[in-house]
Amino acid sequence: MLAKCYSGAINGVDARMVEIEVYSQIGTSQFAIVGLPDTAVKEAKDRIPKALKSQGLALKKEYDVTVNLAPADVRKEGSIYDLPIAVGLLGASGQIRNRHLDEYGLIGELALSGEVRAAHGILPMVMEMRRVGLRAVIVPVENVEEASVVSGIDVIPVRVLQEAVQYLNGELTIEPRHTDIGDLIAGGGSSLDDFADVKGQDTAKQAIEVAVAGGHNILMIGSPGSGKTMLARRIPSILPPLTVEEALEVSRIHSVAGEAKGGGGFVTERPFRAPHHTVSSIGLLGGGTHPVPGEVSLAHRGVLFLDEFAEFPRQALEVLRQPLEDGHVGVSRAAAAFDFPSKFMLVAAMNPCPCGYHGDPNHDCRCRTNAIVKYQSRVSGPLLDRIDIQVEVPPVDVKRLPTMDPGESSATIRERVLKARAIQAERYRNMPGVHTNADVRSRDLDRVCLFTAKERECLIRTIERMKISARAYDKVLRVARTLADLDGSEAVRESDILAAVTYRKLDSEDNAFWV
C-alpha cells in the first residue's frame, strides 16, 4: 500500500518541498530509504520501529518498507524526516485512515520513546509549505512559536507521535496555533543598555547617531578604557524597530542556523552580533561542509560588532569586503551554490597600537614605530575605504567623571534617528533595494544630494586636499546626506560636507592615533 505526505529541505536560507512516499507490503521486515539520504536520514530505519513500539503503534505484520524522498537528486540531511516517514508508514499500513495525508507537512525528529524533538529551519520550511498550498503542518511543540508566525497555514503542535496519529485520524482535536508578528515585535527592546549611562564622548556619540541614522559603517579608534565597547553595546537601543518583512527575513536566517531565540524562536529585535577576534573566515562569512550562515548573515538587518578589530586574522577581515559592498554572500560547493543575505551595519573598535596608548595624552606608548605601522596595517586600505565613518575616541578625564552630567538618553537619540529614517524611506520609496543613505547607488548620489554650485566647489576642494579614493568620495556624500536629514534639510549644505569629511579621520593628516 502507498502513502504520501510532505516535509522540507533547507537550501541556503530558503527551503524546498520534499515528498515522502512510503510503500509497504507483507514481507520480511526490510526497510529501505532512497532519494539521496545522508547518514542521519538512513538511521531513521532504526529509530522509527522503536518509536512506534514505544507508542503502541507497532506494525501487526511483517512488512517490507521502501521510503522514497523526492526529488531524488536533492540530498536530504538531518533527522527531521523521522516524523513524516513514521506517519507515512502508518498510513501505508492502514493505522492512519486519513485519505488526505498528502495535504499535510510534517517536520520533526523522533526519540526512541516516540517524543517529537525540535528541529532547525522550521520557519523557511513552513513558509514554503504555505506557498505550495498545504492544508496544515505538524511540528514539534518546541518549534510552534516560531512556526506559528506564518499565516495562511494551520500549525499543529505535537509532543509525541501518538498525538500526530490521533489528530490525523480525527480522534484528537488540536487547535491550530497562530501568532501575531506585530505583537512580538512590539514587545521587544525593554532591557537594552542606555546611552544616558555614558558620560562624555559627545563626538563619538554623535558619530554613532549619524551612522545609525544612515545605516553607515563606523570604526572607533582609541586607547583602552576610553569607552569604545561601552558605546557599541548601546547601539541596539537606538536602532529602528524591525518591520514585519525584515523580522521574517532575519528569523529565517536564524532558524536555519539554529539560533532563533527571541519570541519563542522568532527574532523580534535587530541582531547584534559580536564574534570573538579568534573567529575564522568561515565563521564570519559562512560555509563549511554543509554550508550554514556565518556571522555576517546572522547580523543581517542589524549590527556586526568587531571589537579589537586589528586582532582579527587578516584573512577573516578581508572576506568582509564582498558582503560590505554587495549585501549578500555567495558560497559555492561542488553540489550547489548558496546565497546568504548579509546587509548589516559594521561597527568596529580598535586600539591604535599593540600596547594601546599611541596618541594618548595620559599614557606613554611603549611601541616602536615599525610595530605600530605593522599593527595598523592589519586593517587594509581597501577595507578602511568601505567604512563610512572613522572617529577617534579619546580617553575621558577620570577626575571629571563624578561631576559630569549624564548623557542624552537612548530614547531621545532614537527619536531623531527615526525621523531621519522616515525621510529616507520616503525619498527611496521608488528605489528597489535602497532603504537608507548607505544603500544609495553612486549614479544617484548627485540627484539625491541636490547640490548647488557652492557645495560642489567645496567638495572639489576637499577631494584635492585629502586625495581620497572614488569609493571614499561616495562615502562622504552619503554621510553628508545623512547629516542633512538629521537636520531636516532637503539639500546637502557646505556644512554637511565639511562635517562628513571630519568623519574620514584616517584620511586626514591631523589624526592623533594613526601613523
pLDDT tens figures, 307-326: 999 999 999 999 999 899 88
pLDDT tens figures, 344-363: 999 999 999 999 999 888 88
Q: Give the model's pLDDT for residue 469.
A: 77
Which residue carries 542521519 as its cell? 40
Q: Give the model's pLDDT for residue 482.
A: 97
Q: How far apart are CA 108 and CA 51, in angstroms?
A: 13
pTM confidence score: 0.90
The interaxial angle of helices 44-54 and 82-92, nearest 10 deg, is 60
CB 266 within 8 A of CB 179: yes
Residue 238: CB atoms within 10 A of its CB come to 26
Report, as ranges of residue numbers, the positions in the chain whose pLDDT lies below 70: 187-191, 260-265, 334-335, 508-513, 515
Q: Give the model's pLDDT for residue 362.
A: 86
Whether the bond into 71 is cis, omega within 30 of 0: yes
Q: Give the model's pLDDT for residue 510.
A: 61
Q: How far apart are CA 101 and CA 77, in angstroms?
A: 23
Q: Give the model's pLDDT for residue 504.
A: 84
CB 327 within 8 A of CB 343: yes
Q: Give the model's pLDDT for residue 511.
A: 66
Q: Give the model's pLDDT for residue 334.
A: 61
Bridge partner residues of 197 (DSSP):
none
